[in-house]
């Protein structure tokens, strides 16, 4: 047998949840040619995987790498975690569709990358990304906010009949061009302007497409950790589509005054998981993703009422500069959602655009307010105005007990909620959330090896076979003969994360080899600079 690559003496965990086994693995033409005893095979290249684990490449079910791979095509932060496919278009934001007069303008700096936008649809976006060359695969979803902006339905009002028809047409076009699903971001503008009924109507246009599902960044907030899931369930049931719930977590506890006392931090994950279990028992195909940190990442604009963010960025800034409107916004920010004032000391700035404000990075809104001699709510508004809505923060305040429950539940898979970037790229000065670099090795090292929360086989399934099944991918996500050779080879004794909140741009350790479409992206622990990644499309 002649092979392009032979990986010998390894232990395979195939992504199905089944037990590990020892075998050799042969690759030809970018696919897995043979699995078993291949000692007589001839190969152009041989990897000795003694003591190492061979798994499918990890599929990041919740990524925001829609544009970052244009800037950092090697995707080192994810490659060194074992990720081979980034699922993009989450939280209602995608790089398509784009109205011809709005290229690159998705509002509030969400997609503010130094790239010339030369496309209007998924076909154009995929062509631009693949011609640029990328190391990892992209599996694109279409974002509801992108669709809203493309048809001009980005105000806080009901969608007109004509706009709904146009939105449905764009959603169908994206799905027919290969998008895997449609995502919403119901706690952010403009996605949150649409009612439950309107989201149902939009999703109903996609119900006839086999495997297409509804993915949602929910209408979260104080007191909504259960009702947000219930709304997602209702949309799936009424629209007749499967549901995937993004970055499951408890954001706040209104009955405990926003967790103002550390001793009051009691986990309530069971209340949320019960909604999933009941929905599944009732016949709904529903799943979720989560990540292993007690801190979130969010724009400061999520402190701002979404009515204030309607329209364009210019419209938003104009409201902030109007004295009467600003006072109303400030009062609502100070009061918080659900009557629970924000913990401004937990909102730590991770990224701003202007040079003048680089000094606020790594500092909490409360600390910045003290320096400026202002109330924290006014400080938040100042930062939004100064940065034109492009202010990101790391937000502390989740509970480890809940993190463990969400990681270990059978319905949950893994999504980083981070971008593929590099320690030397244009984002390297930003104090980003460590989930960009650390999610998968953190689970495999901390929660599997050190704490035995779940087995290695279970963890790998949550990172590979399970997201592939959710997406409906049939050509990757498992180690099986005939499937695409997206593979990770890692040392189970050393794999671990090194990224921290203070020093996030540190690569994880333990990934020895990474193959994307059969080509080495990491070889012997070194990035090869190869760019075999593709935009994967729904068939």
Cβ count within 10 A of residue 35 = 18
Q: What is this structure's pTM?
A: 0.94
538 contact partners, CB below 8 Å, separation of at least 6 = 175, 178, 179, 180, 211, 212, 471, 472
> Is 375 inside a domain boundary?
yes
Q: What is the CATH number of the domain that holds 290?
A: 3.20.20.140
Helix pair 144-151, 161-176: axis angle to 10 deg: 130
Q: Are residues 267 and 367 in the same domain?
A: no
Closest residue by Cα to residue 110 from 127, 129, 124, 90: 90
| Domain end (from 336, 363, 396) | 396
CB 392 within 8 A of CB 417: no
Q: Are residues 349 and 247 in the same domain?
A: no
How much is the pLDDT for 288? 98
How much is the pLDDT for 312? 84
> Is 33 inside a domain boundary?
no
| Domain end (from 381, 396, 411) | 396
Burial 300-310 (b: 16+ CB within 10 A, else e): bbbbbbbebbb
CB-count burial class (<10 Å; 0-12, 13-18, 19+) for 268: middle
Q: Which residues is 349 bridged to in the sheet?
A: 393
Q: What is the DSSP letter of 447?
A: I
Q: Are residues 142 and 80 in the same domain?
A: yes
Q: Are residues 279 and 307 in the same domain?
A: no
How much is the pLDDT for 256? 41
Q: Are residues 353 and 419 in the same domain?
A: no
Phi, psi of 176 (to 5 degrees): -70, -25
How much is the pLDDT for 112? 58
CA 433 vs CA 93, 281, 499: distances in Å? 19, 36, 9
Phi, psi of 311 (to 5 degrees): 80, -150
Q: Which residues is 83 bridged to in the sheet?
A: 58
How much is the pLDDT for 397? 85
CB 384 within 8 A of CB 368: no
> Is 26 inside a domain boundary?
no
Helix pair 313-321, 323-335: axis angle to 10 deg: 90
Q: Which residues constitute the domain of residue 439?
A: 56-294+397-472+481-492+507-526
Q: Are residues 269 and 413 in the same domain?
A: yes
What is the number of structural domains in the chain?
2
Q: Are residues 385 and 408 in the same domain?
A: no
3-state secondary structure of 348: strand
CB-count burial class (<10 Å; 0-12, 13-18, 19+) for 243: buried
Q: Are residues 285 and 392 in the same domain?
A: no
Alpha carbons 144 and 233: distance in angstroms, whole number? 18
Beta strands in 381-486 (DSSP E): 392-396, 412-414
| Domain end (from 396, 416, 445) | 396
> Is 304 inside a domain boundary?
yes
Phi-psi domain of 127 (left: phi exceeds 0; alpha: psi -120 through 50; beta: other): alpha
CB 143 within 8 A of CB 67: no
Q: Are residues 308 and 456 in the same domain?
A: no
Q: Are residues 290 and 308 in the same domain?
A: no
CB 455 within 8 A of CB 448: yes
Q: Are residues 349 and 373 in the same domain?
A: yes
Tell how many helices (H) and how many strands (E) occur in the chain. 16, 21
477 contact partners, CB below 8 Å, separation of at least 6 = 15, 56, 59, 464, 465, 467, 468, 469, 483, 486
> Is 149 inside a domain boundary?
yes
> Is 12 inside a domain boundary?
no
3-state secondary structure of 260: coil
**Span 41-81, pLDDT tens digits:** 999 999 999 999 999 999 999 999 999 999 999 999 999 99
Closest residue by Cα to residue 67 from 174, 152, 143, 172: 143
Alpha carbons 368 and 55: distance in angstroms, whole number? 46
194 contact partners, CB below 8 Å, separation of at least 6 = 144, 148, 159, 184, 186, 202
How much is the pLDDT for 118? 83
Which residue shows structure tokens 């119901």?
A: 186
Q: Which residues is 217 bridged to in the sheet?
A: 185
> Is 1 inside a domain boundary?
no
> Is 363 inside a domain boundary?
yes
CB 111 within 8 A of CB 117: no
Cβ count within 10 A of residue 242 = 18
Q: Are residues 331 and 361 in the same domain?
A: yes
Laid out side by side, the sheet with 58-60 consists of 58-60, 83-88, 137-140
pLDDT values of the chain reduced to their tens digit, one per residue, 539 residues: 899 999 999 999 999 999 999 999 999 999 999 999 999 999 999 999 999 999 999 999 999 999 999 999 999 999 999 999 999 999 999 999 998 766 445 543 445 566 777 899 999 999 999 999 999 999 999 999 999 999 999 899 999 999 999 999 999 999 999 999 999 999 999 999 999 999 999 999 999 999 999 999 998 765 678 899 999 999 999 999 999 999 999 865 434 444 444 444 445 788 999 999 999 999 999 999 999 999 999 999 989 999 999 988 899 999 999 999 999 999 999 998 767 789 999 999 999 989 999 999 999 999 999 999 999 999 999 999 999 998 999 999 888 999 999 999 999 999 999 999 999 988 898 999 999 999 999 999 999 999 999 999 999 999 999 999 999 999 999 999 999 999 999 999 999 999 999 999 999 999 999 999 999 999 999 999 999 999 999 98
How much is the pLDDT for 99? 83
């Amino acid at each position: 047998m002649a092979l392009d690559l032979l990986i010998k003496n390894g232990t395979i965990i195939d992504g199905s949840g089944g037990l590990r086994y020892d075998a050799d693995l042969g690759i030809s033409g970018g696919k897995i040619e043979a699995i078993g005893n291949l000692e007589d095979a001839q190969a152009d290249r041989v990897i000795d995987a003694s003591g190492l684990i061979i798994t499918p490449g990890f599929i990041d079910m919740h990524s925001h790498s829609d544009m970052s791979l244009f800037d950092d095509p090697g995707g080192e932060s994810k490659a060194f975690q074992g990720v081979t496919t980034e699922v993009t278009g989450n939280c209602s934001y995608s790089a398509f569709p784009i109205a011809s007069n709005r290229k690159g303008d998705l509002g509030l700096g969400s997609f503010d990358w130094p790239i010339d936008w030369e496309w209007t649809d998924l076909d154009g976006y995929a062509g631009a990304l693949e011609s640029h060359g990328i190391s990892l695969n992209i599996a694109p979803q279409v974002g509801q906010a992108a669709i809203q902006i493309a048809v001009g339905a980005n105000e806080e009002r009901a969608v007109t009949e004509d706009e709904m028809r146009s939105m449905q047409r764009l959603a169908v076009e994206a799905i027919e061009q290969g998008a895997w699903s449609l995502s919403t971001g119901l706690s952010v503008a403009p996605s949150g302007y649409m009612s439950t009924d309107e989201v149902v109507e939009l999703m109903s246009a996609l119900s006839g497409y086999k495997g297409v599902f509804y993915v949602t960044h929910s209408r979260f907030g104080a007191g909504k950790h259960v009702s947000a899931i219930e709304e997602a369930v209702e949309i799936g049931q009424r629209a007749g589509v499967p549901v995937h719930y993004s970055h499951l977590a408890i954001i706040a506890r209104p009955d405990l005054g926003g967790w103002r006392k550390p001793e009051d931090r009691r986990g309530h994950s069971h209340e949320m998981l019960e909604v999933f279990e009941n929905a599944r028992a009732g016949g709904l195909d529903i799943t979720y993703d989560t990540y292993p940190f007690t801190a979130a990442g969010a724009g400061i604009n999520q402190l701002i009422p979404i009515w204030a963010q309607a329209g364009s960025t210019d419209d938003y800034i104009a409201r902030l500069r109007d004295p009467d409107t600003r006072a109303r916004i400030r009062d609502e920010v100070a009061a918080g959602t659900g009557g629970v004032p924000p913990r401004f000391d937990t909102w730590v700035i991770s990224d701003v655009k202007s040079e003048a404000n680089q000094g606020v990075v790594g500092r909490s809104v409360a600390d910045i307010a003290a320096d400026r001699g202002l109330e924290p709510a006014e400080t938040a508004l100042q930062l939004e105005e100064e940065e034109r809505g492009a202010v990101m923060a790391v937000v502390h305040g989740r509970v480890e007990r809940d993190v463990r429950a969400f990681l270990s539940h059978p319905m949950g898979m893994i999504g980083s909620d981070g971008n593929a970037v590099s320690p030397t790229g244009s984002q390297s000065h930003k104090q980003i959330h460590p989930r960009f670099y650390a999610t998968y090795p953190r689970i495999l090292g901390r929660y599997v090896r050190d704490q035995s929360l779940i087995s290695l086989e279970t963890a790998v399934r949550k990172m590979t076979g399970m997201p592939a099944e959710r997406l409906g991918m049939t050509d990757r996500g498992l180690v099986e003969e005939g499937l695409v050779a997206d593979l990770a080879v890692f040392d189970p004794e050393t794999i671990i994360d090194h990224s921290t909140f203070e020093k996030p741009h540190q690569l994880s350790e333990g990934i020895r080899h990474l193959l994307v479409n059969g080509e080495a992206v990491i070889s012997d622990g070194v990035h090869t600079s190869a760019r075999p990644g593709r935009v994967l499309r729904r068939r």
